[in-house]
Amino acid sequence: MKTKLSFVLLAMSLLLPLAAHSQDVRMYNTVKTKLMEGRQVVGGTVDTADPDVYCAMANAGFDFIWIEMQHSPLNYTDVARMIWACRDAPAIPFVRVPNATEGDIQKATDMGALGIIVPMVDTAKKMEDAVKFAKYPPIGRRSQGGGQYGRLWGSDYRQTWNDNVMIVAMIETLEGTAAADEIAGVEGVDAVFVASGDLGSFSGKRQGDAEYEALVSRIKTETEAANKFVGGPSAWMTSREGYHFFQAPSVGSLIRIGARVTLEQADPCRFLPSGATPVAGENPCP
């Protein structure tokens, strides 16, 4: 009798997620819903642990925040505090993890990130691992444990997670470009991001060079063929067609831009040589 009861309970535990999935799933990842509606999304990059900075970015109008953990000293405690500090902000937290390891992805999701950005993707296997570690059974093998994710996204988080998480592969190398079709074709990958700077670094070519543009075109074409979204730097929003997922400049860059705009508005001649005219018809700069 005990064996039969155990079997029934096991069967129910496996069927519950499938039953929940068959119903209408509550969507709270607004980035994913905007993309599905055909809209573009832009994420501001944060690489500092100051919650005030994170909150300023998360409330500045970005669709998501690209929390940079690959090229920054941020640790998971820092990021958890930042996300919690602005848990009601409209920008959705995404994390670029250091690597597609089970530990990195488990911690990022437990903190409440709804997007996982995987850098340096050269093979489909890396993204298969990312999907496996990010999603709950029966699709993946993410385990249940502690974390603030439930308090952030609701008591039905377990039943809705597999539909709400967004997984992004970054292609940065020649090897990754050659395998773009296999990477984009991995079930569970939502978008492929063309890492413009590193693609130039690894290829030795500059934007505009025929060889460079051929690499970009191959990634984009293969991604679109797999019916996935294509991402790139925000500078490409108005210069290239077919891109939907963008990374905006970092906090430091935005501070420099904002400071320059403020200073120019206060003194139009501040950055102009003597004799130049700020606006046609006005007096020249002293």
Residues annotated as catalytic are 71
Helix axis angle, 157-164 to 2-22, nearest 10°: 50
Buried b (16+ CB within 10 A) or exposed e, 269-280: beeeeeeeeeee
Distance, CA of 20 to CA of 39 (rounded, Å) = 28
Distance, CA of 123 to CA of 203 (rounded, Å) = 17
Query: 3-state SS string over 6-48?
Result: HHHHHHHHHHHHHHHHHCCCCCCCHHHHHHHCCCCEEEEEECC
Residue in the block written with tokens 């970005």: 62
Distance, CA of 109 to CA of 125 (rounded, Å) = 20
Residue in the block written with tokens 């993707």: 121
Both tokens of 270, joined, read: 């501040």
Peptide bond into 138 cis (omega under 30): yes
β-bridge partners, 42? 246
